[in-house]
Every structure is written in C-alpha cells, then in structure tokens.
Structure 1
C-alpha cells in the first residue's frame, strides 16, 4: 500500500507506548478533520500518553513518530503573563 502523506507532519498522542526497535505502539493522530489510529514506530521507546509528531508514513496505517511538544501550546501559556 502507498504511503499516506496526509498524515506526515500531524500531531498525535500515543495510546500504547512504543518499544523502539522491539516493536510499535499505537498513536491517535489528528488528521483529515478527525482522529485516526495508526501503528507507531519510533527509534527510542516512548511512553503511553506522549505527544508525538508523525515524521514518515510506512503505508498500511503505520507511521514513524518522534516525541514532540507543540510550540503553540507554549505561546498560549505566555498569553496569561501579558499585562
């Protein structure tokens, strides 16, 4: 199956932690106006609940992810400091 380029660059949350080279976890990704689940692979193990960014699609509903913090979340926190 061809890779799913629409999911690359999308943020998600791990429903099941990844195990690095030992196996995938599962990620819920915000894509196409909703949320979809994918098998998630990462270079290093990541815990359940980690915020991740999809960096590559392997096709057949499998993606490579990295741990990621949305920089816009940090800006939203700074808005309360103005004044």
Structure 2
C-alpha cells in the first residue's frame, strides 16, 4: 500500500504502548477532519498515553513515531487557548 502523507507531521496519543522495534503500539491521530488509529512503530519503547509525533508512514495504516512535546505547551499554551 502507498505511503499516507496526510498523517506525517501530526501529533497523536498512544492508546497502546510501543515496544520499540520488537512490536508496534497503537496511536490515535487527528487527521482529515476526524481521528484515525494506526499501528505505531518507534525506535525506543514508549508508554501508553505518551504524546508522539508521526515522522513516517509505512502504508497499510502503519506509522513511525517519536515521543514529542508541543513547544507551545511549554510557553503556557497555544495562542488559540489564550483567546
């Protein structure tokens, strides 16, 4: 199956922990006006509930993720939240 470019660069939350390259977890990502679930692969194990960033697509509803923190959260929230 073809790579899903729409999901790359989107943040998500792990519903199921990843076990690094040994086994995928599951991530829910806001994309295409809704939320979608994907199998999530990572280089290092990541816990359930971790915020991640999708850095690649493997096609067939599988993505590569890294742990991620929204830089706007570190600054006290996004501008939309302040307004």
Distance 1:72 1:26 in 2: 25
Distance 2:59 2:16 in 1: 19
Runs of 4+ with deviation above 3 angstroms? none
1:29 Cα deviation after fit: 0.5
**Partner residue of 1:26?**
26
Aligned mates of 2:75, 2:4 — CA distance in 1 = 30
Partner of 1:37: 37
Which segments of 5 or more consecutive residues in structure 1 lack a partner in the other structure?
none
Aligned to 1:50: 50
Please give the alpha-carbon distance, in whole angstroms, between the structure 1 residues aligned to 2:47 and 2:62: 18
Normalization by structure 2: what TM-score? 0.89
TM-aligned CA deviation for residue 75 of structure 1: 2.1
Shift of 1:73: 1.5
Gaps of 5+ in 2: none
What TM-score comes out, normalization by structure 1 length?
Answer: 0.89
User: What is the alpha-carbon root mean square deviation over aligned residues?
Assistant: 1.6
